[in-house]
Amino acid sequence: MLYSFYKLMSINLFQYITVRAGIAFFLAFFLTIYLMPRFIKWAKSRNANQPIYSLAPQTHQQKSKTPTMGGIVFLCAATLSILMCARMNNLFVLSALACILLFGLIGMKDDLSKILGKSNTAGLTPRAKLGFQILASSIVALILFVAVDLDTTFFVPFYKYPLFDMNLLALGFWVLVMISASNAVNLTDGLDGLATVPAILSIFTLAVFVYVGGNAFLSSYLLLPKVGGSGEVVIVATAVMGSLVGFLWFNCYPAEIFMGDSGSLSIGAFIGYMAIISKNEILLLLIGFVFVLETVSVILQVGIVRFWIIALMSNLLALTALKLR
């Protein structure tokens, strides 16, 4: 909106991505700062409290009276900021918005179910949540594949040439990346409520890669994959970062509100989306290393008895080597 206005007024300064990205950051930040206290007041009046994750430490039980679904506020603030500052005829921006809003709706449905059921287990079943995530990420992947015509070559970090072309397999790979990132951030936030700062850092790092990839000179100079038109997504990234910083103002100790699945699922999916369009799907393991560690931690806590059983069986199998020679 602002881009079209400034272009009409021939104000060249505001046609630069970096300028509009800065505006988007502060606009999203101040919108979140303005809206969040009002949402917290409303959430407390409706007892929209945070159901505590079953695997979280007992000391986390004091958080049970803290409102949740703060993600709705910062996603709305980010979306308004994006609509104001980004070029809305850019397919990368539109697909990024689709990713954020579709996963946000999944999280909202999950949050509402938990709040109404007064239990962390009252939300969407794992199968239903995964089904919705597959549907949402498939829509975004199809937009990238068909409308955007995103390059389907596969890159690895620290090597300037693509290893191979994934062709149609890219659709499944992109779906996997978005779902994995979404669930990793969701698990991190659900376990300790501390996903905000790692998410901001991850988005910032990926925004740098997206900006470079969208710039013909910089991508050529730094030997990084060039993805024409993707640079506009930097404005989406800074809007999300600004809204997250605003959310952090109320989420820092003692937390007045949590983002809930409506925020964490969406933020995680967007991180995955940025990794896809910047060709950093593998580097995402390093960029989001905290999320990887938290995910592994949850898997171990959930399946530790089964790991013991597997260890027992494998050792029994090894002992058969005493006889079978």
DSSP lists the bridge partners of residue 49 as 67
Separation of alpha carbons 148 and 214, rounded Å: 14
Q: How is the chain split into domains, by residue range?
A: 2-322
Confidence category of residue 305, pLDDT binned at 50, 70, 90 = low
- 226-279 pLDDT, tens digit per residue, is 998 899 999 999 999 999 999 999 887 777 888 889 999 999 999 999 999 999
What local confidence, expressed as pLDDT, does residue 12 receive? Answer: 67
Separation of alpha carbons 44 and 21, rounded Å: 34
**Per the structure block, which two tokens stand in for 105?**
């709706």
What local confidence, expressed as pLDDT, does residue 94 receive? Answer: 96
CA angle 268/64/261 to nearest 5° reads: 20
**Please, how many CA atoms are within 13 Å of residue 57, restricted to the half-sphere of its CB?**
4
**Please, how many CA atoms are within 13 Å of residue 104, restricted to the half-sphere of its CB?**
22
What local confidence, expressed as pLDDT, does residue 124 receive? Answer: 82
| DSSP three-state, residue 190 | helix
Distances in Å between the alpha carbon of 295 and those of 128, 291, 300? 20, 6, 9
What local confidence, expressed as pLDDT, does residue 44 receive? Answer: 83
Helix, strand, coil shares of the chain, percent, nearest 5, are 75, 0, 25
- 33-56 pLDDT, tens digit per residue, is 999 999 998 888 877 676 655 555
Residue with the larger pLDDT of the pair 206 and 122: 206
**Per the structure block, which two tokens stand in for 203?**
């988005």
For range 114-135, the mean pLDDT: 81
Check if the beta carbon of residue 226 is closer than 8 Å to that of residue 157. no
What local confidence, expressed as pLDDT, does residue 54 receive? Answer: 52
Residues 6+ apart with CB under 8 A from 283: 157, 275
What local confidence, expressed as pLDDT, does residue 165 receive? Answer: 92
Burial classification of residue 317, based on how many CB atoms lie within 10 Å of its CB (0-12 exposed, 13-18 middle, 19 or more buried): exposed
Residue with the larger pLDDT of the pair 275 and 288: 275
Distance of alpha carbon 82 from its chain centroid, rounded? Answer: 16
In order, the DSSP letters of 198-213 are: HHHHHHHHHHHHHHHH
- 79-94 pLDDT, tens digit per residue, is 999 999 999 999 999 9
Residue 264 has what DSSP assignment?
Answer: H
Confidence category of residue 21, pLDDT binned at 50, 70, 90 = very high
**Per the structure block, which two tokens stand in for 44?**
């407390």
What's the whole-model pTM score?
A: 0.86
Residue with the larger pLDDT of the pair 283 and 95: 95
**Per the structure block, which two tokens stand in for 142?**
């199809």
What local confidence, expressed as pLDDT, does residue 224 receive? Answer: 87
For range 205-214, the mean pLDDT: 92
Confidence category of residue 193, pLDDT binned at 50, 70, 90 = low
**Count of beta carbons in the 10 Å neighbourhood of residue 186:** 29
Separation of alpha carbons 167 and 176, rounded Å: 15
Confidence category of residue 308, pLDDT binned at 50, 70, 90 = low
Confidence category of residue 144, pLDDT binned at 50, 70, 90 = very high
Confidence category of residue 325, pLDDT binned at 50, 70, 90 = very low
Most distant CA atoms of the chain, gap in Å: 86
**Pairing mode of beta strands 164-165, 153-154:** antiparallel
Buried b (16+ CB within 10 A) or exposed e, 5-34: ebeeeeeeeeeebebbbebbbebbbebbbe
Distance of alpha carbon 3 from its chain centroid, rounded? Answer: 26
| DSSP three-state, residue 246 | helix
